Amino acid sequence: MFVSLEGIDGSGKSTQARLLVEALGEGTVAIREPGGTEAAERIRELLADPAVSLQPLAELMLFLAARAEVTERVIRPALEAERHVVADRFSDSSVAYQGAARGLGVGEVIGLCEAATDGLWPDLTLLLRLDPETGLGRAEGDDRFEREGLGLQRAVAEAYEEIAVIASDRVAVIDAAGSVEEVHERVMEAVRERSRD
């Protein structure tokens, strides 16, 4: 099973992804986006650097390059070997951040994501829902996206709500308020439910 975790900055994706990998057990492949290969990790450094100014389309293309790389080299081989894959972000992030919040167009970005991944989407996407004010207060990093502040996070949160409706067949909305343990239990319930389907 291929599971992605999505949400605004500070929603707890990385923590919940790590706990889910532990819960799914040995052999589960963990990736973060962008990242997962040497080339994708270098792209990550560039994208996170607050000193670097990027046009929205250039930003998107860097994310897509990293995603194409990790999909081909890591995700598909793991799925073919019947291993679970847990991704801290995937294509929905581009749809929310660049497609909606940056104004590049949701449909256009979905099409480009499909091209970059040869049509691969997660079997289950866990959308960690948290209000943007709380998320920014929790965010531990100081990357380019967090520095843009509340306006960007609100636009992204709104976009994720639309994604949850459009892709309701694979997106499960998780209340990300509460303790790490409480949120983890909600995540596991959603994963168990999908496994029963």
Average pLDDT over residues 6-19: 96
Tens of pLDDT, residues 76-106? 999 999 999 999 999 999 999 999 999 999 9
Average pLDDT over residues 34-51: 95
Q: How far apart are CA 143 and CA 156, in angstroms?
A: 16
Single-letter code of the amino acid located at 115: A
Terminal Cα-to-Cα distance of the chain (whole angstroms): 12
Residue 137 has pLDDT above 80, yes or no: no
Most confident segment among 116-120, 134-138, 143-147: 116-120
Per-residue confidence (pLDDT) for residue 140, from 0 to 100: 64
What DSSP character marks residue 48?
H
Per-residue confidence (pLDDT) for residue 12, from 0 to 100: 95
Residue 169 has pLDDT above 80, yes or no: yes
Q: How far apart are CA 46 and CA 37, in angstroms?
A: 14
**Strand ranges (E), the chain:** 2-6, 29-32, 85-88, 124-129, 171-175
Which has more pLDDT, 96 or 133?
A: 96
Q: For the whole prediction, is pTM greater than 0.85?
A: yes
Average pLDDT over residues 164-180: 97
Confidence of residue 4 (pLDDT cuts 50, 70, 90): very high
Per-residue confidence (pLDDT) for residue 87, from 0 to 100: 98
